[in-house]
Amino acid sequence: MPELPEVETTLRGIKPHIHHQTIKSTIIRHPRLRWPVPINLAHHLEGQRLNNIHRRGKYLLFHFDTGTMILHLGMSGRLRILLKEVPPQKHDHVDIIFSHNICLRFTDPRRFGAILFTTDDPEQHPLLKHIGPEPLSDSFNGNHLWEMAVGKKTAVKNYIMDSHIVAGVGNIYATEALFTAGVRPGKAAGKVSNHQYQQLATAIKAILRHAIQKGGTTLKDFAQSDGKPGYFSIELQAYGRAGEPCPRCHKPFKSTQIGQRTTVYCSSCQT
DNA sequence: AGTGCGGCCTGTCCGC
DNA sequence: TGCGGACAGGCCGCAC
């Protein structure tokens, strides 16, 4: 499922093919995503030149003179570049075709993804307005986590997955970062020490950077025509390893539910 | 205000 | 082998 590194890799994969290109047509086969795809999306896009694309958290923002298309991959969404015509498959919901006949295809089996359009400042859009700092920026650090956590009783894992605290940390990398930093995921956010938050911020940055770097090797996959997704996996130390021995202390990993999400941790190494 | 949980979806996996 | 059910998951938006 796309986490921030996959979204960043998607951005890098598609951008060279469509940057500064003009949209010829738009095909919406299935408008029922997380929210309905705007009926007038084609009206906003057709004839428009793509000025730029950038990422905010797990959102991709496509900038045009007429406004901004906001796209989220949800948990099963994919974007591909098609260099030639490829018959659409079952879950290929939206095609955006550029004037040089390159197609940007949005595929999403579970339809938790979203495609929206705003004519206003996208940073002021309700979905983006209150989002926290980018995890790889300098404004995200241990002090930020520490300061925002004062008095919070929610589990630290929920806390770092809250997009208002920091943008784009999902279940997989939250689990991994908590393991790396030695922080128990169920601990109340307000009870985590400043020292642990420094470790945690460092771990979040490191794992995201590592995953993005790994993703760089798969960029070519975004322009494949055979439908192979351009995603990748890094070696995960804790996520999905319930019952397996902790690589540090060899005690079996425990599994629990926090905020209705599967959480794996080492009861000995994470305190 | 802060916190927790319901709901949207479908592919995959498991047990019968 | 076929089928039903549980599960996974991001994240908004509601309810307490």
Banded pLDDT at A6 (limits 50, 70, 90) = confident
Residue with tokens 């911020």: A201
Give the model's confidence band at A106: pLDDT under 50 very low, under 70 low, under 90 confident, else very high.
very high
Number of CB atoms found within 10 A of residue A206's CB:
14
* Count of other CB atoms within 10 angstroms of residue A176: 24
Percent of chain A with pLDDT over 90: 59
Nucleotides of C under 7 A from a protein CB: 7-13
* Average pLDDT of the residues in A243-252: 92
> In the complex, which nucleotide's C1' lies nearest to the CA atom of residue A164?
C11
Residue A3 known to be catalytic: yes
Closest CA to A165 of A139, A183, A185: A139
Rounded distance, CA A49 to CA A205, Å? 34
User: Is residue A224 predicted with pLDDT exceeding 50?
Assistant: no
User: Which tokens hold the place of A38?
Assistant: 């705007």
Mean pLDDT of A150-162: 92
Confidence of residue A1 (pLDDT cuts 50, 70, 90): low
Nucleotide showing the shortest C1' distance to residue A76 CA: C9
Q: Give the count of alpha carbons within 13 A of A28, CB side only.
A: 17
Which position among A12, A15, A56, A58 bears the catalytic label? A58
Rg (CA), chain A: 20
> From CA A209, how far away is CA A213, in angstroms rounded?
6
Nearest-10 crossing angle of helices A4-18, A194-215: 40
